[in-house]
Amino acid sequence: MNMKERVIKVLDELNLDAVLVSDGYNMRYISGFTGATGYLYVSRNRSVILTDFRYTIQANNQSQGFEVIEIGKGGYTAAINDLLDADQTKRLGFEDDHLLYANYSSLNEKLHKEEMVPVKDALTKLRIVKTADELEKIKMAEHIGDIAFTKILEVIKPGMTELEVAAYLEFFMKTNGAEGLSFDSIVASGVNSSMPHATPSNKKIELGDFVTMDFGCLYQGYCSDMTRTIVVGKASPEQKEVYNTVLKAQLAAMEVIRAGVIGKDVDKVARDLIDSTKYKGCFGHGLGHSVGLFIHEEPRFSAGENNAILAGVTETVEPGIYIKDFGGVRIEDLVVVTENGFENFTHSEKQLIEL
């Protein structure tokens, strides 16, 4: 099935005449248009990108097989109404997970239709299983992350701030092919590493600190995501124990990854391992998430994930232990699930590094 056929299947399932896509990632996935401004309208007769003057050339170049309509003085409402009239659309789907309430209210009041129907995540779900082409891009993005990690190890020195380390990581990613960041880099040192999503600060890295670096880049629109924790200087016995417990939990979880495994069962393996140690309760977030055009995608390796994970789904595997006033460790790899196991896209060293 090509992309339009996949969207029309959604129209069939939800008994819709057309759908109005507002989520930029879904717009890009379906049409190839990266502008993320405007709407994508798909019915059984028409596939149309509605955008403004700034993006019309780009949309025409990127989206073969899609009409591009430049909105006029009447704005989006008038342009969409022309389509609805021509198509005799009655039931119009919209992305209730995404469309702002103010925009929904205005469209619902002014559009020529009988009903606006929420499609929930029906379109986003199209993105769950990655194509070979998508996987190549994600793999490349993760490879760039690996390069940045190798290079940052030569740069980190006591006295350097977390913000400086983050800046170098970003420099190394962008000078090795990244077009941007997939999320704000996390660099957390010393006690700051006890906060899973600490914001890099002006805190200077000290001898003996854990330094957790969680970072990712964009390559051709696709995200990477990885985390490594190192020790600057010699690790204490307690630091080694925390680190090796996290590593053991990650490796144990990876043992059970293969197509068909239930998401929550993978999470449980890592969680049970950590909870069987003195660090019980110190792993306070889910084990992993999928990665694609967006950094946090479904499905997840988490307690709430009751679905079987399909081959071709990407997942992070990122257990952690966080101890207040002491510090924390997280190790994160990005894998793609296969019929018999997984392929790991992350190749950076996982044994404890002491700089």
Q: What is the pattern of x (binds Mn ion, CB under 5 A) and - over residues 198-227? A: ---------------------------x--
Tell me whether residue 248 is exposed, middle or buried, using C-beta atoms within 10 angstroms of its C-beta: 0 to 12, 13 to 18, 19 or more: middle
Contact between 290 and Mn ion per CB under 5 A: no
Among residue numbers 35 through 64, which ones bind Mn ion (CB under 5 A)?
A: none
Nearer to Mn ion, 17 or 315 (CB): 315
Q: What angle do CA 337, 340, 341 make, to 5 degrees?
A: 45
Structure tokens, 10: 């959604």
Using the contact rule CB under 5 A, the part of the chain among 70-78, 87-95, 161-169, 309-317 near Mn ion is: 309-317
Nearer to Mn ion, 89 or 316 (CB): 316
Q: What is the pattern of x (binds Mn ion, CB under 5 A) and - over residues 224-243? A: -x------------------
Nearer to Mn ion, 231 or 317 (CB): 317
Is the CB of residue 168 less than 8 Å from the CB of residue 187?
no
Output phi, psi for 178, to 5 deg: -75, 145
Nearer to Mn ion, 23 or 225 (CB): 225
Nearer to Mn ion, 3 or 251 (CB): 251
Question: How many amino acids of this chain bind Mn ion (CB under 5 A)?
Answer: 2
Nearer to Mn ion, 93 or 221 (CB): 221
Q: Give the span between the Cα atoms of 345 and 136, in whole angstroms.
A: 10
State in angstroms the smallest separation of the CB of 219 from Mn ion: 16
Residues in the chain: 355
Q: Which DSSP category does 183 fall into?
A: S
Is the CB of residue 226 less than 8 Å from the CB of residue 214?
yes
Nearer to Mn ion, 182 or 189 (CB): 182
Contact between 316 and Mn ion per CB under 5 A: yes
Question: How many Cα neighbours within 13 Å face the side chain of 304?
Answer: 6
Q: Is 38 left (phi over 0), alpha (psi -120 to 50) or beta?
A: left
State in angstroms the smallest separation of the CB of 240 from Mn ion: 24
Nearer to Mn ion, 250 or 316 (CB): 316
Structure tokens, 213: 């670096």
State in angstroms the smallest separation of the CB of 73 from Mn ion: 45
State in angstroms the smallest separation of the CB of 277 from Mn ion: 23
State in angstroms the smallest separation of the CB of 289 from Mn ion: 6
Q: How many CB atoms lie within 10 A of CB 236?
A: 12
Q: Give the span between the Cα atoms of 265 and 116, in whole angstroms.
A: 38
Nearer to Mn ion, 170 or 225 (CB): 225
Is the CB of residue 118 less than 8 Å from the CB of residue 196?
no
Measure Cα distances from 283 to 196, 216, 246, 321, 341 in Å: 10, 22, 9, 5, 24
Please say whether the dihedral angle defined by the alpha carbons of residues 215, 206, 192 and 234, taken in this order, is positive or negative. Answer: positive
- Helix 3-13, helix 24-31: angle, nearest 10: 120
Strand partners, 68: 49
State in angstroms the smallest separation of the CB of 225 from Mn ion: 4
State in angstroms the smallest separation of the CB of 200 from Mn ion: 16
State in angstroms the smallest separation of the CB of 198 from Mn ion: 14
Q: What is the pattern of x (binds Mn ion, CB under 5 A) and - over residues 67-106? A: ----------------------------------------
State in angstroms the smallest separation of the CB of 325 from Mn ion: 25
Footprint of Mn ion (CB under 5 A): 225, 316
